[in-house]
Structures are given as C-alpha cells and as structure tokens.
Copies of this chain bind each other. A is one copy, B any other.
Amino acid sequence: MIMRGTRGKVSATIADVARRAGVGVGTVSRVLNDRPKVGAQTRARVLAAIEELKYVPSETARRLSLRRTQTIAVVSVHLVIPSVIERIHGIERSLTAAGLDMIIRNAETVERRDEVVREIARAGRVDGAIFISVAPQGEGQEEISASGLPVVLIDARRPGVPHIVCDDVEGGRIAGRHLLELGHTRIGFVGDPPSPRLGVRSSRTRLRGVTEALQECALRIDPSHIAEGEHSRLGGQQSARKILSGANPPTAIVAANDTLAFGVLQAARDLGLEVPGDLSVLGYDDIDAADLVQLTTIHQPLRESGTEAVRRLLAAIDGTGKGPLRTVLPVHLIVRGTTGPPRTSL
C-alpha cells in the first residue's frame, strides 16, 4: 500500500497563481524567472498572487522541464577519512552558494565504486559528478564518458578528465628536505597500498618526491624502509613495525597521510622509541587531529580543493570554457613536535 502526496496541504501550482492573478501561466513563469517582457502592473499582480497563495514552484517539475537535475554527485572513498570530509566541506559550501544540491555516494570497494559509477552514468540522475580520491575505471569509465556527464576528479588522475590535485611530488620533496636538513640520512616511508585498488596513486607520488629530495643529496631510500598497508592507523602501525624491526632501521619515517602517521607513532611507542629523539615522524594532510598530537606534517589546501572542483565542474556544465585539464594546488610544511635531529648526530 503506497501513500501518495496525501500529507500536508497540497501546495499551489503555477496555474493557481495564474488564475488568481488573472494572467496566463507563461506570464507567471516569466515573472518567476525574472525575464523581461512583463508589464510592471502585471508583474505586481502576479507577485501579489504568489504571496497570497504562499506559492513555491516545484523543483521537480522545473527539473523535468529544464532537463537539468540541479544536483551533482560526490563520490568518495570511505566517508570517515578526515581529509575526504574536509574536501566535501569545501564542496558543500560552494554548491550551496550556487543553489545546487549534492548527493553523496561512497565507494569503499572496487565493486561498490563501479556500481556507483554506473548509477551516476545513467542519464538524468545528476548534472555532474566530483570524485574524491577515487576515479572511474574500466567499463564504468567508458559508460560515464559516453554519457557525456561532466566530471571532475580530486586527488586522482585519469587521462582526459579534468582533475584537481595537490602538488604531491613537491610535498614529498619538502618532507624529505626537512628531514635532511635536520640531519637524517636513513629515511623510511609508510604508504597506502599500491596500484590498482581505486585508481589513486598519491601515496606513490609523494614517495617519489621524497626520493627526489634524497637524490639531491645523493642519498636513496633503502627498499626495506618502505612499506605499504591499509589506509588506517592499524595499517600504519604494522608497516612501521616491519620497517623499524629491521637490522638498520631509519631514524625518520614519512607517512603518506596523517592517519598512517598516527599508526607510526603508535608503533614507535610500542617499541619504546622516543619521538622525535629516536624517531622523527612526518605526516601528510594536516588534518585536525594532527595538531592534537603535535604531528609535523605537510599541509594541503583540502577545503580549497573542494571549492576549486566545484568551480571547474560548474564551468563544464555551463559549457563556459574548459580550463586546464589539471589544476595543481600548493602545499607547505607545518613543523610541530614529531620531527627533530636524529640522536646519533647530537
């Protein structure tokens, strides 16, 4: 048994307004959309009728007629990752300002992602989509590009699709240089699981930056000082333990994100290592909790990445200029308490 529109009073329609004002529906529509060619008195009469009837246009009818949903989809990995939340926050603000709705879908697994992508690709569900740290791939990508739906990626890259990224290589370099300047030479890296998962590789890119910084000093990372694991505190902890229990452990570890860095800190504690005395730890993202535990980290303009993505998406939807395929946002170092000179060099 389905209940339909029975609740509340049925709101007035544009026809009611037209009748009340003694004009045609076309005229009311013109008034509503602030279009010219409406006499001053007529306009006043229509406005009065709208007021009296407490008329509010039906968004749904408008959408059907305009063939625009006024809604954009945000697809992200697990909704609890702090950096993702910050980005969504930026998106939300811009979208609201533009009078658009946002629906959120999360894609924790590859299967779920493909399902979500397919759903979105269906014509008419949304006017555009923003992907955060996920990118459509394979069949899903084909479907979505065939549908012509405007898409912008954040923290992900895919040939031919506009994307907003932070300068991950530079971030890695900055991290590496900071540790080098402190006197570290044995530097480790804890990252996300590698390749194919959800189509994002920022972890690897940051590693590349670190590597480059070391190369400038003719140093390199011992392969046994690199570990990759699940994007979680536990993952960071396990990776760090593996690295630190080796024969000649590093004196500093760069983590691909703050959550992993927290795990590294935990591992250090477990092993009785003092931070930063015995081990320096450097995170990435500068999420809220980083300040809490005094984590030195690379700050990314997370919220800005969201607003920028919206700007690009709206331009694509309106057909107003394409803009560059890639927008790179700057990052910078925030020194707190988890990095310092290595004990041996004191």
A150 CB contacts on chain B under 8 angstroms: 7
Interface residues of A in 130-162 (CB under 8 A from B): 146-150
A64 CB contacts on chain B under 8 angstroms: 58, 60-61, 64
| A67 interface contact, C-beta 8 A | yes
From the candidates B8, B102, B124, B147, name the one contacting A104 in the complex (CB within 8 A).
Answer: B102
Contact assessment for B125 and A59 in the assembled complex, using a CB-CB cutoff below 8 Å: yes
Contact assessment for B8 and A318 in the assembled complex, using a CB-CB cutoff below 8 Å: no
A2 to B127, CA, bound (A): 14
A135 to B149, CA, bound (A): 37
> How many copies of this kind of chain does the complex include?
2
Contact assessment for B58 and A60 in the assembled complex, using a CB-CB cutoff below 8 Å: no
Using C-beta atoms within 8 Å of the partner chain, give the interface range for chain A.
Answer: 35 or more
From the candidates B11, B69, B147, name the one contacting A8 in the complex (CB within 8 A).
Answer: B147
Contact assessment for A67 and B4 in the assembled complex, using a CB-CB cutoff below 8 Å: yes
Q: Given A60-B60, A85-B80, A66 and B4 touching (CB < 8 A)?
A: yes
Contact assessment for A96 and B85 in the assembled complex, using a CB-CB cutoff below 8 Å: no
| A9 interface contact, C-beta 8 A | yes
Q: Report 24 cross-chain contacts, Cβ distance below 8 Å, ordered by A residue.
A: A2-B318, A3-B318, A3-B319, A4-B67, A7-B148, A7-B149, A8-B146, A8-B147, A8-B148, A8-B149, A56-B123, A58-B124, A59-B125, A61-B64, A79-B85, A79-B88, A80-B85, A80-B89, A96-B105, A102-B103, A102-B104, A103-B103, A104-B104, A233-B292
